[in-house]
Amino acid sequence: MKATVAILLLETAFLALGQAAYGSSSVVNTKHNLSVSGPGELKSTVETRVCIFCHTPHHANEDKRLEVNPLWSREASSVTYDPYFSETMQATTKPGQPTGTSRLCLSCHDGSIALGMLKGNYQLPGITSRITPDRSSYIGSDLRNDHPVSFPYDSMLSTKDLELNAPSTLPPEIRLERNTNFVQCTTCHNPHKDPSPPNSKFLVLPNYKNGTQLCIACHNKSGWSANVHSTADATKLDGCEICHKPHGANGVNYAPLLGNRYEYRTQHQYDAGGYSLCLRCHAEADILDPLHPEKTKFPKHYSHVVTQGYPCIACHPSHGVTINDAAHAHLVEFSSIFVTSGTYDSVTKSCNVTCHPTTHLTNPKYY
């Protein structure tokens, strides 16, 4: 009895100290406080202890699947996950079954275990619910549409993939897993601190309604900071998340984690659904009016996109161009996937290209 009282007093003192030191950023004031005092919808109706939902001072879970064990009080999920996969990913170890802190996070967020279920199948009182698929915090077992985790982010990777910053240059908020340098859920999320709820999602750097500090800390997209997708009033606040979803991406576009469908890999028969990502911002009638193509902002769009089946990316790199000036405001630069050779003259607004049976290398087209 005395030991129980001592633990309760110690936890109360710890939480009081945490609130005094961190104020509104304490875990007490976040949705991860599942006790009766928590601010979220999912919480216990009677349990007053805060840390007990994830941590225990004694007899922590020693399940070998938990490769890191911060005095973990919860069960380890037995779910088999579908990991993220990309043919172009160059990490030496590809994402497989989640490891480290990612497995800890998924013990709640895959929705397989009740939030109050502790080691030994002990259910805390007043909370028997799980995270359900209708909630944004639900990850489930299909990780193909989520940012990859449990892979090494090392100098070898950044040397191979020039669109990634060297790990030595990452800001201190970006935390790779100790000893392995693996990217894990805790690389982007701090489970104990939510800087500006309810929109920050426990992010270690702002990324929603605050630009894209988090994404560009790792991803170095050439030309991004100056291009119109980054600077336009309609998109600059959401930044990368105007097109990409780090969790719950569109099913047919798993690898780039796009929020809407976009068929960009090959020539194909046009349908509006295949361009729903682009058409969220760009009105179809402005660029692809089949009845009056000559009245659109670029009359040749219909010929290129609909008649010949070229995707937008053949001429427009969405992340930016190598030359950022007023003349390149429409992000014109040709993709080597579709254009064998060619240049765009931003002064005369002419294309000298070879991309389909007719070459314009010696017979430039003006727009």
Q: Distance between CA atoms of 47 and 122, rounded to whole angstroms?
A: 13
User: For residues 202 and 335, what is the distance between their CA atoms, to the nearest angstrom?
Assistant: 37
Tell me whether residue 228 is in a domain. no
Position 20 scores a pLDDT of: 37
Q: What is the DSSP string of 129-181?
A: ----TTSTT---SB-TTB---SEE--HHHHHH-TTB--GGGS-TTS-PPTTT-
In a domain, 32, yes or no: no
Judge whether 321 lies within some domain. yes
- What total of structural domains would you count in the chain? 1
Q: From first to last of the 367 residues of the chain, give the pLDDT tens digit.
A: 444 444 444 444 444 444 433 344 689 999 999 999 999 999 999 999 999 999 999 999 998 888 888 999 999 899 999 999 999 999 999 999 999 999 999 999 999 999 999 999 999 999 999 999 999 999 999 999 999 999 999 999 999 999 999 999 999 999 999 989 999 999 999 999 998 776 679 999 988 666 688 999 999 988 888 888 888 888 888 889 889 999 999 999 999 999 999 999 899 999 999 999 999 999 998 888 888 777 777 888 898 899 989 999 998 998 988 776 665 667 888 888 888 887 887 777 778 888 777 777 777 776 6
Q: Please state, in angstroms and rounded to a whole number, the distance separating the CA atoms of residues 311 and 17.
A: 57
Least Cα distance to 51 among 192, 240, 224 occurs for 192
Return the residue matching tokens 């992340």: 319
Q: What pLDDT was estimated at residue 13? A: 43
Asked whether residue 109 is assigned to any structural domain, the reply reads: no
Give the global pTM: 0.87
Q: Rounded distance, CA 9 to CA 20, Å?
A: 16
Q: Is 150 a domain residue?
A: no
pLDDT of residue 106: 97
Query: If residue 341 lies in a helix (H) or strand (E), which one and from where to where?
Result: strand 341-345
| pLDDT value for 320 | 85
46 neighbors 125 (Cβ within 8 angstroms): yes
Q: What does the CA dihedral 321, 323, 325, 327 come to, rounded to 10 degrees? A: -80
CA distances from 91 to 12, 122, 187, 221, 366 (A): 44, 39, 16, 18, 43
Enclosing domain of residue 307: 263-366
What Rg, from alpha-carbon coordinates, does the chain have? 25
The separation between the first and the last C-alpha atoms of the chain, rounded to the nearest angstrom, is 83
Say what the pLDDT of residue 182 is. 97
pLDDT computed for residue 14 by the predictor? 42
* Predicted local distance difference test score (pLDDT) of residue 324: 64
Pairing mode, strands 182-183 and 117-118:
unpaired
Residue for token digits 């980054």? Answer: 230
